[in-house]
Chain A
């Protein structure tokens, strides 16, 4: 038996070999660099030190440093488990989920929604929404570029690059003030050719935590009107920034009031804690219902050869939570709770650093908003934090405040002080 199989294996190898020598197709494949953000968590997990702290990836943690499944989500899971079928969603995704999601961004009583002027599809969280938009932009505005703020979430660059849309940058963060470089931002907006496409973070800018004020947003909106620019909002943190989803959507509402036909990416990864479910929405405001129907149909054509239709489970959770009044109320409470804890940690980290006698200014920690704090530390300082103190963060000095707890804030402050104090 064994002999026969050896012989037959030899024979099949020979018949395959034929005149070809054994070769590999992938000899030339280089190992890819690790993702700068997700690679941090990999390194953290591999570290055996009991003191290790992960302030890398932007995933919320409770005060014990544990991931959180919101109560409203657990309850929604219980209500839907085993009850429904798992049929394909329509190509554009769950109509009910989209409906409720648009209301969050555009307002409960939005005329645009009532007038059916918004083309919207369910997307694979924020990444998926941005990618489908980028592909759509390439297809229907093939000569356009995308203006991306400096700095931004690193994956934004990958997304528009893979969609083959050329990129340009605009000024955003001011390293000296650790705030917004508003003057340069406005210059870039004015100097860009009319009708340019801009990527804007609706609130809680990632990675800096620096947002324009309401007044500044109004000026930006006005200048966009003058130049006829297209505004694409990436809103990944609605509710997470201030604790109030309505307040966090202010920038978008300002643009809508000014009549802009915006695009918007929404994600439920952070504000509903649905990270791994990959639930989000891409919407484009159109001139009328007919155009919205056409645009939606074209968005679907992009999704179909990518994944056919989006996953049902996360969408069901969102629909259930937003659709049942008791769950929606619970969600709003829990989102505020998360935002408040982060704001508390900002205060605590800053106080700790000041009490340690750090001569540097740390007020940007409490000025910035949302999940991230752009500490201003250099890559070398970050490396020291990792190597000497087992603290993991991205090398641009971005701290995920969600990873800070009352248990580790002292340790973290001390370590930061050690690596930043003048020698």
Chain B
């Protein structure tokens, strides 16, 4: 192969040197050092290997472990009692309908995604009777799950909003800071979790948001805060709302667990609806990864609630300019499944039942883990396990204890002590309880 390439180069050179060349005259090409056997070094030679993603890297490590008792409590993906991933029955049903519908094609969908998916998603989070929807003041675009919705929203804000700072909770989902930073916003934190009580640091939250510059963006977890599982009460939400509105801060909701927190879709959407009800503006990122089990299909939506229909329409046109150079248009499959389910009364109803089952299994796991630690006499107050909400428990374990649990008990979780309750089953709770007990009592 090398010889052929060299021959060709010599032939090309010869042609260039020929007096009777038919091409326009080229300068004489002399032999270059780069025409030898060695290729010039890669322009990316200086790259270092990037560290594993702190969350997704956990699964990578888990997969490598050969131990039969290994437990993956890392990524927030629901598991059944048998430890298996779950495709909801209603989703399988929807898929079959789609496959058998020969009139469907795989054309590009619009830049903003499927129209019926967008309308139904807005209704799901804002409520079917939301005045904002009825007044056409909401623009909704289909995006790639929660991450994609956050990123598109952040890029939009970086371009069109007068304030460049976003306040995120301390702590928050590991990917949040990067999403906003790469969009060009500057990221600050506000106090949220209180390690002493393993609950909400409400005073700190109010102080920090109270001293934020007017107009700053505030990221709020709509329910089932990730990673802590600590949510404000309705009364606390009302105070937060008043503070945000009085300071003219811009709320940006991340709603990744609607229906998963309490088991009720409407109840879990209350904080968002409370803000929309006061007539003000906000952004909402929705994900169907967990509540419809569509993780890998990357289905989500970004809604921007605006003052007027005219503004909403202009906002939509600008969102398209963000999306087009990112991926042109979103993937069709997952959104089609969602739309099929949401628009059919009986399928919607079926979904709410399956969703409630998932939420209830998690609540039961919380209770079982709490009981198991109590019965072992594990030192410490573990009531936060049953007080916290949603898929995750912020155990309060430190990174040394986590590393110990991984090494000795093959328990995989993120080093901040967050465990995904969805990864537990009645069968594996004792093993986890043993591991926590050992980590706490051996003075690691």
Q: Is B truly associated with A?
A: yes
The reply on A59 being an interface residue by CB < 8 A is yes
- Check if B327 sits within 8 Å of A131, measured CB to CB: yes
The reply on A219 being an interface residue by CB < 8 A is yes
- Check if A9 sits within 8 Å of B277, measured CB to CB: yes
- Check if A82 sits within 8 Å of B96, measured CB to CB: yes
- Check if B106 sits within 8 Å of A273, measured CB to CB: yes
Question: Per a CB cutoff under 8 Å, which of B106, B160, B161, B333 touches A69?
Answer: B106
User: With a CB–CB cut-off of 8 A, which chain B residues contact A86?
Assistant: 85, 87, 91, 293-297, 334
User: With a CB–CB cut-off of 8 A, which chain B residues contact A81?
Assistant: 95-96, 99
Which of B5-13, B205-213, B347-355 lines the interface with chain A? B5-13
- Check if B108 sits within 8 Å of A312, measured CB to CB: no
- Check if B111 sits within 8 Å of A29, measured CB to CB: no
- Check if A140 sits within 8 Å of B44, measured CB to CB: yes
- Check if A307 sits within 8 Å of B106, measured CB to CB: no
The reply on A328 being an interface residue by CB < 8 A is no
User: With a CB–CB cut-off of 8 A, which chain A residues contact B327?
Assistant: 124-125, 127-128, 131, 278, 307
The reply on A308 being an interface residue by CB < 8 A is yes
Question: Per a CB cutoff under 8 Å, which of A16, A260, A295 touches B246?
Answer: A16
A122 CB to nearest chain B CB (Å): 11
Question: Per a CB cutoff under 8 Å, which of A77, A222, A309 touches B99?
Answer: A77
User: With a CB–CB cut-off of 8 A, which chain A residues contact B250?
Assistant: 25
Question: Per a CB cutoff under 8 Å, which of A69, A261, A275, A304 touches B178?
Answer: A304
- Check if A162 sits within 8 Å of B325, measured CB to CB: yes
A257 CB to nearest chain B CB (Å): 5
- Check if A32 sits within 8 Å of B50, measured CB to CB: no
The reply on A297 being an interface residue by CB < 8 A is yes
The reply on B140 being an interface residue by CB < 8 A is no
B225 CB to nearest chain A CB (Å): 19
- Check if B298 sits within 8 Å of A287, measured CB to CB: no
User: With a CB–CB cut-off of 8 A, which chain A residues contact B321?
Assistant: 32, 158
User: With a CB–CB cut-off of 8 A, which chain A residues contact B19?
Assistant: none
Question: Per a CB cutoff under 8 Å, which of B53, B162, B325 touches A158?
Answer: B325
Q: How far is the CA of A298 from the CA of B45 in the complex (A)?
A: 13
Question: Per a CB cutoff under 8 Å, which of A15, A87, A276 touches B108?
Answer: A276
- Check if B296 sits within 8 Å of A307, measured CB to CB: no
- Check if B50 sits within 8 Å of A69, measured CB to CB: no
- Check if A308 sits within 8 Å of B145, measured CB to CB: yes
The listed residue with most B CB atoms (<10 A of its CB), out of A16, A190, A291, is A16
User: With a CB–CB cut-off of 8 A, which chain A residues contact B35?
Assistant: 225-226
Q: How far is the CA of A85 from the CA of B79 in the complex (A)?
A: 11
Evaluate whether A291 and B45 lie within 8 angstroms (CB atoms) in the complex, with A35-B111, A155-B324, A183-B24 already known: yes
Evaluate whether A125 and B326 lie within 8 angstroms (CB atoms) in the complex, with A32-B320, A88-B77, A312-B297 already known: no
Question: Per a CB cutoff under 8 Å, which of B39, B85, B147 touches A85?
Answer: B85
Q: How far is the CA of A307 from the CA of B56 in the complex (A)?
A: 13
Contact with B along A27-54 (1 / 0, CB 8 A): 1111110110010000000000000000
Q: How far is the CA of A226 from the CA of B13 in the complex (A)?
A: 12
User: With a CB–CB cut-off of 8 A, which chain B residues contact A88?
Assistant: 56, 75, 77, 289, 295-296
The reply on A168 being an interface residue by CB < 8 A is no
User: With a CB–CB cut-off of 8 A, which chain B residues contact A405?
Assistant: none
The listed residue with most A CB atoms (<10 A of its CB), out of B162, B280, B334, is B280
Q: Categorize the interface residue count of chain B.
A: 35 or more
Q: Which of A183-203 contact B (CB under 8 A)?
A: 183, 186, 190, 195
B405 CB to nearest chain A CB (Å): 23
A135 CB to nearest chain B CB (Å): 8
Q: How far is the CA of A284 from the CA of B43 in the complex (A)?
A: 11
- Check if A31 sits within 8 Å of B306, measured CB to CB: no
The reply on B396 being an interface residue by CB < 8 A is no
The reply on B47 being an interface residue by CB < 8 A is yes
- Check if A304 sits within 8 Å of B53, measured CB to CB: yes
Evaluate whether A218 and B145 lie within 8 angstroms (CB atoms) in the complex, with A16-B279, A276-B108 already known: no
B234 CB to nearest chain A CB (Å): 13
Which residue on B lies nearest to A164, using beta carbons?
B184
Evaluate whether A12 and B160 lie within 8 angstroms (CB atoms) in the complex, with A26-B311, A312-B296 already known: no
The reply on B245 being an interface residue by CB < 8 A is yes
- Check if A307 sits within 8 Å of B333, measured CB to CB: no
Which residue on B lies nearest to A285, using beta carbons?
B42
User: With a CB–CB cut-off of 8 A, which chain B residues contact A77?
Assistant: 99
Could you give 21 example pairs across A and B, Cβ below 8 Å? A16-B246, A22-B307, A29-B318, A30-B318, A32-B320, A59-B107, A77-B99, A86-B293, A127-B326, A140-B47, A190-B27, A259-B5, A261-B42, A274-B106, A275-B106, A278-B327, A291-B47, A306-B148, A307-B147, A308-B148, A311-B297
- Hey, which bits of chain A sit against chain B, CB under 8 A? 9, 12-13, 15-20, 22-32, 34-35, 38, 57, 59, 67-69, 73-74, 77-78, 81-82, 84-91, 124-125, 127-128, 131, 140-141, 144, 155, 158-159, 161-162, 182-183, 186, 190, 195, 218-219, 222, 225-226, 228, 230, 257-261, 269, 273-278, 284, 286-287, 291, 293-295, 297-298, 300-301, 304-314
9 extra A-B contacts, CB within 8 A, seeds A26-B281, A81-B99, A294-B48: A35-B111, A59-B107, A162-B326, A278-B328, A284-B44, A305-B181, A307-B144, A309-B298, A313-B331
